Amino acid sequence: MFAPYMLNTWLAGSLIALTAGLVGFFAVLRGESFASHALPLGTFPGAAFAAWAGVNAYYGLVGFSLLGIIVINQLAKQQRNDVATALTLISLLGLGTLFLSLSNNYAGAVYALLFGEILGLSQTDVLITAAISAIAIAGTLTLFRPLLLNSISPDLAATAQIPPNRTQILFLTLLALTTAMALPITGALLVFSLLIGPAALARSLTDNPVTAAFCSAAISLLTIWAAIALAYTTNYPIGFFVGAIAALWYGAGRVLRK
């Protein structure tokens, strides 16, 4: 489990968890759970495109994440946010199917994209993960107060001259970067569970937003560590354990709220 070839997995997983816990707190606070589910699936065709084009998967992931934000933002001007998100998701999943059919990747590679893979992470992957994580965490901390005001009281945010549309775009950008970074390890289908489960429990533990945000990051870190250990010992997909543990956190949060 702690062999040298697993070091990159532990490093990348820890960076992903810290970022997902922090960004996920605002996803729960803002009611953006659907976007947290849709954006990872929307980045999936980016990984499929990268496999088809023969380039690093992270380039495709980040590129399609930003494409998803642009499309959602444009459609949201004419449709409700949930409708815009759903239309974007459908379109990007169609592209993902096309790119997978064009590539010569074996079934195991497709399986890893959907459910995650703890092995095979290179030093380059860790460096890219660290860079994206630093950008996402720095952006979230910088926007902490505007995001908090806009999430809790839009009227107060308007009084403080915080533009809601710009805040939404910036938040979706942070969310997209986080999901693109996490997809190779946790898989496209269950990335959102790492964002939502720990944050849901953290909100039930305290009403202080700063404490809740950092509690969410800590719980997310425990989640990914447990998932890596269980995936290594059982040889089951890491995404399954991330989803199962996150569901337990969510259930515990519901019980505490009652």
Alpha carbon 47 to chain centroid distance? 15
pLDDT at 139: 93
Contact between 182 and 230 (Cβ < 8 Å): no
Q: pLDDT: is 30 or 220 the higher one?
A: 220
CATH number of the domain enclosing 192: 1.10.3470.10
Q: pLDDT: is 181 or 138 the higher one?
A: 138
Count structural domains, the chain: 1
The boundaries of the domain holding residue 62 are: 4-257
pTM to 2 decimal places = 0.80
Q: What is the per-residue pLDDT across 30-69, written as a single tens digit (0 to 9) for each?
A: 887 777 777 777 777 777 787 777 777 777 777 887 787 7
The span from the CA of 28 to the CA of 200, in Å, is 7
